[in-house]
Amino acid sequence: MDPVIAGSLVSAGKNLIQGISTCLTPDSEGVKVPRGDFSSELEKAHAVQSADSVHDLDSLRELLIKDPQVAAFLEKNPDCQIYMEKRADGSVQFLSSSGETLLLDKESQTNQFANNYIDLCLEENKNLTSLRPDSVTFEHQA
């Protein structure tokens, strides 16, 4: 047998055996997933579940009032009528009779609460207004 061919066969066999043994040997480190990724995804999933689990207007109103952005907006407009309306992109906008507006980030939990509030108002025929047909009123004084 030709020594060049024999050497090539031995080399190919060695590479094949090493490749198979590498695939069968478990990797001691495994796949590392950054810890923050799982935690943040879990919090997002829990936040969506929490937002969907609130089913009454008073609870949703209280959750909205506790949000710092909404609280600051309401504080600036103490004696004004406040309306809420959904926007085409899924976000919710607060409108004051003074002309000021507050646009919620569509990815925020507060936006989810606001969407639920509007949907529930429409389902129960509460807080509707003829002045703004696609909006609901938001009572912020207890």
Return the pLDDT at 113: 96
pLDDT of amino acid 72: 95
Task: Specify if 7 maps to a domain.
Answer: no
pLDDT at site 49: 46
Is 94 a domain residue?
yes
Residue 22 falls inside a structural domain: no
Whether residue 80 contacts residue 97, with contact meaning beta carbons closer than 8 Å, is answered with yes
**At residue 26, does pLDDT exceed 70?**
no
| pLDDT tier, 88 (very low <50, low <70, confident <90, very high otherwise) | very high
Q: Is the pLDDT of residue 125 over 50?
A: yes
Residue 128 lies in a domain: yes
Which one has a higher pLDDT value, 75 or 39?
75
Domain coverage including residue 122: 56-137
Which residue type is seen at 21? Answer: S
In a domain, 103, yes or no: yes
Look at residue 110 and tell me if it is in a domain. yes
State how many domains the chain has.
1
Element spanning 3, H or E: helix 3-24
Q: Is 85 a member of any domain?
A: yes
Rounded Cα–Cα distance for residues 18 and 135 (Å): 69
What percentage of the chain reaches a pLDDT higher than 70? 75
- Could you tell me the CA-to-CA distances from 64 to 1, 14, 81, 140 in Å, in that order? 85, 68, 16, 9
Cα(139)–Cα(104) distance, integer angstroms = 18
Residue 28 forms part of a structural domain: no
Q: What is the mean pLDDT of residues 59-64?
A: 94
Per mean pLDDT, which range of 24-28, 35-39, 131-135 is the poorest?
24-28
Distance (Å) of CA 125 to CA 24, 60, 114, 117, 121: 64, 16, 16, 12, 6
Paired with 83 in beta bridges are 95, 137
